[in-house]
Amino acid sequence: MIGDFVVHATAGAARHATFSTAHGEVATPCFMPVGTLADVKLLEPRDLHELNARIVLANTYHLWLRPGRETLVAAGGLHRFMAWDGPILTDSGGYQVFSLESRREIDDDGVTFRSHLDGSKHRFTPENVVAFQEDLGVDVAMAFDECVKLPSSRKDVERAVTRTTAWAQRCAAAWRRGPTMLFGIVQGGLDEDLRAQSSAELVALDLPGYAIGGLSVGESRAEMDRVARFTAALLPANKPRYLMGVGTVRDLVAGIDRGIDLFDCVYPTRSGRHGRALTRSGIEYNVRNAGCVRDFGPLDPACDCRVCATYTKAYIAHLFRSGELLAQRLISYHNVAALTSLVRDARAAIDGGRWKAFRDALLASASP
Amino acid sequence: MIGDFVVHATAGAARHATFSTAHGEVATPCFMPVGTLADVKLLEPRDLHELNARIVLANTYHLWLRPGRETLVAAGGLHRFMAWDGPILTDSGGYQVFSLESRREIDDDGVTFRSHLDGSKHRFTPENVVAFQEDLGVDVAMAFDECVKLPSSRKDVERAVTRTTAWAQRCAAAWRRGPTMLFGIVQGGLDEDLRAQSSAELVALDLPGYAIGGLSVGESRAEMDRVARFTAALLPANKPRYLMGVGTVRDLVAGIDRGIDLFDCVYPTRSGRHGRALTRSGIEYNVRNAGCVRDFGPLDPACDCRVCATYTKAYIAHLFRSGELLAQRLISYHNVAALTSLVRDARAAIDGGRWKAFRDALLASASP
């Protein structure tokens, strides 16, 4: 049933679970590739299926502006529009509109902002952001939240927590409780008492899942780790926990260890477009390195993806040096494979009682 | 056997044939996608197989400079380097080095030129250009020719014809007659007597195939058509004829009608990267057109390619407007399908006694 979250095995806070959506089951821990504009850059849905990327992210702010609600509804929803039949999670656009800074005005009812594309004026409210995501037919809609940059004053963080709770309540009231699930987003900056307050107020709404927001926005990795660990423990054990905007191999492993189930990040595709390849041991290297030119092995000998089975590092390095966009596609493909394999192996390690050894090996080898 | 050219059916000068290479048979008329730098831009070998693109082009000049002979030989040849197991034809680099103008010096023995990448000095001779292509293990090597821009003086065209013949003789003498076939390239500008001289001198070498070079370099379509028709008739009927750098739907149809068997052009992939899609009736349109935004049909309703079976025009238009590189990949894929389907249907029309009707319908509908 939609929203079911069944835990199969645990290792400390880490757990292997299955999360049910209207477009199928998602094994967690899970890494979700980012498809902001209704595509994961340079990859097709067929690629994503091959990569075992079970659920993808898209973004309310960007899709609201282009192609817009009418086109997406006329297309038959976001799944049909982007030709992806697996689950989709959309971010609420909160993070994006708050990033607009001079182009937006916040009031207690919502946010008025100008499009970064053409300067046109738009307004987000908790109600219309939830309705938009439901109209698109996505599997998981995120509540509209206020995300503050770090560092911020205690007063600003307090205000964001209060507003995020009030808006989450309005999102929950507006939510149609159909096939689209609604997740809450915990804010609270780096203050444990504010994180505790935000968590408690959102958990009271009994939503199908909860995200930890407001991290990976300027703080140190140690601070992020402390707050994510603290907050994850306050979220219900019987619902998925999602750490937004994270991350690298190191961050994924640390997150899984704290009991996080879902992750998203542009990291593998953005790195790929910049010629940086990831290995299964979490090491990142640039294919521009001189050593790649005559290396006729794959991007990562430990990888079982189609790109590693087909192409050599020398070939991809040649394409990248030559400015051929195909290189960006091939490295992006492999990098997503690196993270979807990582979470697959993490699930197996949790099942097999090997989680701690698996975690420690990766934390020892992964790039900082 | 390598080099066999078996004609199955004809319609006037047009013919459906099979041409045998070390990497399999090629049904002609055939359109060859261009993979200058050892990749067809944004497409993988898997895509090319799906697209029935039986043979691809690569370029001696570009591969000589990067990654260079040593890397390509160490990789096990060009096929293994680019992970393509079908036939490959390489252009000899003649066209490219002559385009360098201020960066090259021609003498009767060869051409000394500076790399457009780093200014380094290199020298092409008929012998080393053939050896390079053979070392790469390609299926068809092109002879080293002198290609003049049009318009050129009669004297310049005469000199190019004389030199092209002398160099073709040296190419033929150097050619190892192994799995790599050698094709000659007819020059002669727009002068029928020089085209006749060039054809006769090259045909005397009894090479496995002949190309018509020095066209699509600045002359009008009527001039190109006249010279190609005149020259094609002078080339052996029992060997493949290749019209270099051509072309559009209209040019392919006209070329097939003159008895041309092989074509190559960057047209479908370059158009695709610029958002221009081709239809089966030869019409070209830009996905930026306002009408595409809410068109939930495929790029071409008459097309049976995977992109048309999967994605709507509205989706691809959205991606293109959003600057997503995936749009360039999808349109390139479809455009190659448009041309490989065209030649497939041309073969069937020749077999079925419908060639003239097929030709006339396309010449009436295709974009100018």
pLDDT digits (tens, 9 = 90+) for A126-164: 999 999 999 999 999 999 999 988 899 999 999 999 999
One-letter identity of residue A131: A
Nearest to B321 among A66, A293, A314 (CB): A66
CA–CA separation, A201 vs A205, rounded Å?
7
Q: Looking at residue B271, what is its pLDDT?
A: 98
User: A39 to chain B, minimum CA–CA distance in Å?
Assistant: 8
End-to-end CA distance of chain A: 40
Are B346 and B355 a contacting pair, CB within 8 Å? yes
Q: Looking at residue B9, what is its pLDDT?
A: 98
Which residue on chain A is closest to B65 by alpha carbon?
A: A322
3-state DSSP assignment of residue A238: coil
Each domain of chain B, given as residue ranges in start order, spans 5-265, 266-368
pLDDT for residue A88 is more than 90: yes
Are B235 and B203 a contacting pair, CB within 8 Å? yes
Is B45–A325 a contact, with Cβ atoms under 8 angstroms apart? Answer: no
CATH of B5-265, one of 3.20.20.105, 3.20.20.80, 3.40.50.620, 3.10.450.40: 3.20.20.105
User: A298 to chain B, minimum CA–CA distance in Å?
Assistant: 12
User: A90 to chain B, minimum CA–CA distance in Å?
Assistant: 18
Which residue on chain A is closest to B78 by alpha carbon?
A: A315
Q: Tell me which chain A residues have a C-beta less than 8 angstroms from the C-beta of B293.
A: 67, 71
Token pair of B115 as six digits: 């790399």
Q: Looking at residue B102, what is its pLDDT?
A: 84
Q: Any idea what DSSP says for residue A34?
A: B
Q: Of A47, A91, A251, A300, which is the active-site residue?
A: A91
Mean pLDDT to the nearest integer, A15-27:
98
Average confidence score pLDDT of chain A? 97
Q: Looking at residue B248, what is its pLDDT?
A: 94
Active site residues of B: 91, 264
Burial degree of A348 (CB within 10 A; 0-12, 13-18, 19+): middle
Nearest to B315 among A81, A310, A325 (CB): A81
Q: Could you please report the per-residue DSSP string of A192-208? A: HHHHHHHHHHHHTT--S
pLDDT for residue A308 is more than 90: yes
Nearest to A37 among B74, B322, B329 (CB): B322
Q: Looking at residue B351, what is its pLDDT?
A: 98
Which residue on chain B is closest to A325 by alpha carbon?
A: B42
Nearest to A315 among B46, B81, B296 (CB): B81
Q: Looking at residue B154, what is its pLDDT?
A: 96
- Chain A residues at the B interface, defined by Cβ less than 8 Å, are 37-39, 41-45, 66-67, 71, 74-76, 81-83, 293-294, 296, 310-312, 314-315, 318-319, 321-322, 324-326, 328-330
Nearest to A312 among B43, B75, B329 (CB): B75
Which residue on chain A is closest to B316 by alpha carbon?
A: A82
Q: Tell me which chain A residues have a C-beta less than 8 angstroms from the C-beta of B74.
A: 294, 296
Parallel/antiparallel/unpaired status of strands A30-33 and A262-265 = parallel
Q: Looking at residue A118, what is its pLDDT?
A: 95
Helix residue ranges per DSSP H, A83-237? 94-99, 126-136, 154-174, 192-203, 221-232
Q: Looking at residue B266, what is its pLDDT?
A: 97
Q: Any idea what DSSP says for residue A291?
A: G
Give binding residues of A for Zn(2+) as ranges.
303, 305, 308, 334
Q: Looking at residue B99, what is its pLDDT?
A: 87
Is B326–A42 a contact, with Cβ atoms under 8 angstroms apart? Answer: yes
What is the band of A63 on the pLDDT scale with cuts at 50, 70, 90? very high
Is B38–A318 a contact, with Cβ atoms under 8 angstroms apart? Answer: yes
Are B229 and B258 a contacting pair, CB within 8 Å? yes
3-class secondary structure per residue, chain B: CCCCEEEEEEECCEEEEEEEECCEEEEECEEEEECCCCCCCCCCHHHHHHCCCCCEEEEHHHHHHCCCHHHHHHCCCHHHHHCCCCCEEEECCHHHHHHCHHHEEECCCCEEEECCCCCCEEEECHHHHHHHHHHHCCCEEECCCCCCCCCCCHHHHHHHHHHHHHHHHHHHHHCCCCCCEEEEEECCCCCHHHHHHHHHHHHCCCCCEEEECCCCCCCCHHHHHHHHHHHHCCCCCCCCEEECCCCCHHHHHHHHHCCCCEEEECHHHHHHHCCEEECCCCCEEECCCHHHCCCCCCCCCCCCCHHHHHCCHHHHHHHHHCCCHHHHHHHHHHHHHHHHHHHHHHHHHHHCCCHHHHHHHHHHHCCC
Q: What percent of chain A has pLDDT above 90? A: 95
Which residue on chain A is closest to B38 by alpha carbon?
A: A319
pLDDT for residue A100 is more than 90: no
Q: Any known ligand binding at B292?
A: no
Residue contacts between A and B (CB atoms, under 8 Å): 100
Is A74–B296 a contact, with Cβ atoms under 8 angstroms apart? Answer: yes
User: B313 to chain A, minimum CA–CA distance in Å?
Assistant: 10
Tally helices (H) and strands (E) across chain A.
15, 16
Does the ipTM surpass 0.85? yes
**Cα–Cα separations (whole angstroms), residue A236 to A261, A296, B314:** 12, 49, 41
Is A318–B67 a contact, with Cβ atoms under 8 angstroms apart? Answer: yes
Nearest to B140 by CA among B72, B73, B210, B205: B210
CA torsion, ordered A196, A200, A203, A209, to nearest 10 deg: -10
User: B67 to chain A, minimum CA–CA distance in Å?
Assistant: 6
pLDDT for residue A40 is more than 90: yes
User: A255 to chain B, minimum CA–CA distance in Å?
Assistant: 31
Burial degree of A152 (CB within 10 A; 0-12, 13-18, 19+): middle
- Chain B residues at the A interface, defined by Cβ less than 8 Å, are 37-39, 41-46, 66-67, 71, 74-76, 81-83, 293-294, 296, 310-312, 314-315, 318-319, 321-322, 324-326, 328-330
Q: Looking at residue B100, what is its pLDDT?
A: 87
Are B237 and B25 a contacting pair, CB within 8 Å? no
Beta strands per DSSP E along chain A: 5-11, 14-21, 24-28, 30-33, 56-59, 88-91, 104-106, 111-114, 121-124, 140-142, 181-186, 209-212, 241-243, 262-265, 276-278, 284-286
Is A38–B318 a contact, with Cβ atoms under 8 angstroms apart? Answer: yes
Which residue on chain B is closest to A311 by alpha carbon?
A: B83
Tens-digit pLDDT string for chain B (368 aa): 999 999 999 999 999 999 999 999 999 999 999 999 999 999 999 999 999 999 999 999 999 999 999 999 999 999 999 999 999 999 999 899 988 888 999 999 999 999 999 999 999 999 999 999 999 999 999 999 999 888 999 999 999 999 999 999 999 999 999 999 999 999 999 999 999 999 999 999 999 999 999 998 889 999 999 999 999 999 999 999 999 999 899 999 999 999 999 999 999 999 999 999 999 999 999 999 999 999 999 999 999 999 999 999 999 999 999 999 999 999 999 999 999 999 999 999 999 999 999 999 999 999 88
Is A310–B45 a contact, with Cβ atoms under 8 angstroms apart? Answer: yes
Nearest to A326 among B39, B71, B321 (CB): B39
Q: What is the pTM of this model?
A: 0.98
Is A314–B81 a contact, with Cβ atoms under 8 angstroms apart? Answer: yes
Is B37–A322 a contact, with Cβ atoms under 8 angstroms apart? Answer: yes
pLDDT for residue A101 is more than 90: no
Q: Of A47, A251, A257, A264, which is the active-site residue?
A: A264
